[in-house]
Amino acid sequence: MSERPLLLLDVDGPLNPFRARFARHRGYVTCRVHPAGWSASQRPGSRRLRRGLRVRLHPGHGAQLLALPYDLAWATVWMHEANEMIAPAIGLPGDLPVIEFTDMFEPDPEGLFWKTRQIVAWAAGRPFVWVDDMITDRDVAHVAEHHDGPGLLMPIDPRRGLEEAQFTRLAAWARSL
């Protein structure tokens, strides 16, 4: 087992700044993909289905993430499709571990983000950073109380995605362990 901390990656928000005002967002490129869940919700034969779901990704993010002293894993609704569709577009290996979420989008009785409990269980006490656009103060408090190791939750603005300041913070946090 690796001694390195985990870096748990969400796609939409951190890697795909889907709320960005401009289509040409600071070095990002537009990709068209066909994730199964999205495709199933489209009208058969529609133009939208033929074109695919638009995601904006930064081709340099893979190298920046791989340069950090972390073991990367996906913590996203894309699950295994992140390895197939997102990883190649940003330069990550296509075999990263995936947290296989159950009960996606189900409301939590304590108001936590639906990913939070499963992330804590999956990390199993190992130090981790989780980057996501949906993290709240409740999630931070829950991790502090229920995770046996160091944990850092980094909310990411879905209009901006991961930025240099966050990469710097990620490197500093790993060094501090």
- Summarised one tens digit per residue, pLDDT across range 48-90 is 999 999 999 999 999 999 999 999 999 999 999 999 999 999 9
Which one of 3.40.80, 3.10.350, 3.40.50, 3.90.1150 gives the CATH number of domain 6-19+59-176?
Answer: 3.40.50
pLDDT in tens, 121-141: 999 999 999 999 999 999 999
For the chain, domain boundaries: 6-19+59-176
Residue 29 pairs with which residues in a beta bridge? 57
Dmax (CA) for the chain in angstroms is 52
Number of Cβ within a 10 Å radius of residue 34: 14
Q: Which helix (H) or strand (E) holds 87?
A: helix 87-90
Which pLDDT does position 27 carry in this prediction? 87
State pTM to two decimals: 0.94
Checking if the pLDDT of 3 tops 90, the result is no
Q: What is the DSSP string of 132-147?
A: ESS--HHHHHHHHHH-
Determine the Cα–Cα distance for residues 47 and 10; give it in Å rounded to an integer: 28
